[in-house]
Structure 1
Amino acid sequence: MNEWLKNGFFLGLGAAVAGKEKVQTYLDDLVTKGRITPKEAEQFADELIHKGETKEEEWSQASKDRVKGMFHDMGLATRDDVENLEAKITHLESLLKEEANKNDT
């Protein structure tokens, strides 16, 4: 599973780099041909980057939700579950120590 996630990450990273290079080449070509100004090209690139970051955040959250759902379906404990159990154990240990101290006196 870990290898699958890592491969997916590198695939996405490679696609992003290739896509950015193609967009930059396309924008440079438009500037060279005089169809847009360098400032317009920069603004367009910034807009694409912003949209890409927004979409990446959406996909990232959707991926996290899917993984959480898979873990839930498999019956695996979440970090919150483990932390809650640790807190309960700590509380019970302190109650036992208090009870032991009462019995000792």
Structure 2
Amino acid sequence: MRDLISKTISLGLGIAVASKEQVEKLAGELVKKGEMTRAESFAFIDDLLKKGEETQHKLESLIQEKVQKVGERKWATKEDIERIERRLDQLLDRLEKSE
């Protein structure tokens, strides 16, 4: 489970880095075309990156919440089942002996 969470977060960080590069590239192209000034491009980049970080934090919180809910569920492990089976066998043996 932790491996899945780690991979998910790594994926999110990878997307964030790629997004930053894409945003900077887009801003650079807009500056070259004269559609925005250099100062506007910095503000544009900052705004988009802040929104991306906010979205990433929301996603991480959502993932953490879902994982916590799954962790709260009571699942029987293989060891639990084997322990219960041994106990049942003991009880059945006692029952058979008492008859």
Aligned twin of 2:23: 23
Structure with greater contact order relative to length (CA < 8 Å, sep ≥ 6): 2
1:25 is displaced (CA, Å) by 0.7
Question: Who is 1:74 aligned against?
Answer: 74
Q: Give 3-state SS (helix, strand or coil) of 2:73's partner.
A: helix
Q: Provide the TM-score with structure 2 as the length reference.
A: 0.67
Q: CA deviation at 1:74?
A: 2.7
TM-score w.r.t. length of structure 1? 0.64
Q: CA deviation at 1:69?
A: 0.6
Give the count of matched residue pairs.
Answer: 75
Shift of 1:36: 0.4
Residues of 2 paired with 1:64 and 1:7: CA distance? Answer: 13
Q: What do you get for the CA RMSD once the two structures are aligned?
A: 1.4
Aligned structure 1 segments of 4 or more residues deviating by more than 3 angstroms: none
Kindly state the Cα deviation for residue 13 of structure 1 after the two structures are TM-superposed.
Answer: 1.5
Identity of counterpart residues, as a percentage?
32
Query: Which string of whole-angstrom CA distances, capped at 9 and with x for unpartnered residues, describes residues 41-96 of structure 1?
Result: 11111111111122122112111110111011136xxxxxxxxxxxxxxxxxxxxx
Structure 1 position 42 matched with structure 2 position 51: no
